[in-house]
Chain A
Amino acid sequence: MTAIIEAQDLRRTFGAVRAVDGMSFAVEEGSICGLLGRNGAGKSTLMNLVMGQDFPSSGTVRVLGEDPVENARVLTRTCFIKESQSYPDAFRAKHVLATAPHFFPHYDHALAARLVADFDLPVNRMVKKMSRGQRSALGAIVGIASRAELTLLDEPYAGLDAVARHVFYDRLLEDYARHPRTIVLSTHLIDEVADLLDHVLVVHQGRLEIDAATEELRSSAATLVGRSADIDAFVEGREVLGRERIAGIASVTVAGLSQDDRARAARSGLEVTPVSLQQLIVRRTGAPTSEEVAS
């Protein structure tokens, strides 16, 4: 395994706010990594640090083995698209698309043209007059067509509707399959991207809550559904991540179920279903563990 990004005890404070509070992790070269977390969890600050756009208060981050700050060797191999990207006032979308190849050496014009059609982007419109979704589409086009060795996408589809988001996922995966590279994607639409991700980093209040392969994370918990009494008996003494109760039926998300446990649960008449990544992360990042839906 080869790391393209490596962070060691990375910290960034703004006054009393610890936006990034001691994160250590590595992102594998060639993977699609999801950076997940709530608003204000520190995702954007972390990405800014990785791309040398901001400076760590302490700790280190290495991209391609080097400090990314003011490092053209690293930066010319990257593309960082963020929702808050600002464009010069007079720029129309076509100016952005004409400028991009100067800055991204692997930029593919034909692909960009296809994506413009796919997203139905009005290239003659001033960027500042575009809707949030159109600006996101513009960013997504540049992000995919630039084919940088390391692509960071910070909330790349804010304002995009469901259809456009699926166009984005499809095109991203399609091009990734043809031209493998490393992609780090931050989002809070966890279930939508879950199938794309090889690895997830979940940040919560500036700290790294989860750093795991997607599959491993998914199998780390399961949801059990059955009669309340049976459920209560089964989960006694286990780590319960979430609990819902509707009339006499309970649904409980439990961590660390072994194969034997699953078999035993099935024998006691409980239904074992895979937990959604979103549920799991919501549980781990602050939602109350018990939820009375109705009684």
Chain B
Amino acid sequence: MWLQPMVNLFKMDFRRFISNKMMYVLLMVFSAFQIFGIFMINQYEEPTEHGGLLTSAMNESQFIQSMLAQTPSWVMIYIAVFTVYFYMSEYNSGFYKNYITLSRARINSVLSKILIQGVFTLFIFVVFILSDLIGRTIFFEQATIGDIGYFVKLLIGQIVLHWSFSIMILCITIIMRNIIASIVISIALVLNVFGMVLGVLESLITDLNLTSYLLVNTITNRTIDFNNLGDFIHVFSVAIIVMLVFSLIALNYKIREDLR
């Protein structure tokens, strides 16, 4: 069966993924900082001048949206670090040479890494929500979820957006083949440097607001209403286009790459 070699490589990558201490360290540090962040919000929270909702009074959906809207987004930073680490640890060790003679190994290896990124994104969101719930329970003395339907849509939308972000980082890492360069570009993306520059240029030329369709702008846009069909389509179309474009670039590059 043509799918079996890809499944085999995924099993291999998944075993490395779950037996990798780095992954657990990243998730634990992320969780600790998330809870610490909630503590800091609790310490220094002040009512906004415009009568906005206090962070401590937000439900989980509102809280997630407000957290993800902050630049730089810690979730994206952790995803970027893990993506670069996971790919480069295999590349630098030369382990790929052990399976590269397998049928369609180059293609399957990229597809397997993409799936692993999806699993990591899922894991980090689970840790994100659990840490939020723990932190909010301890420091805000409330951990309401709010509308469950909206919460689920928000989660699915953000997980898919972050997964597509990780694929973009994977593609950059495959092309750069260098940890430092990949991390620097990732941080610039997380800081939305490119989005801001393009936004300024766009505002000089037109008022179409096409940059709102950029991936990082979509992730950090707190005004997106996941109950609104238009917003929902916006989120999924951005995520799917980014996934497809960067997956195809990564695959195409890998197929042609001269391996050292």
A binds B: no
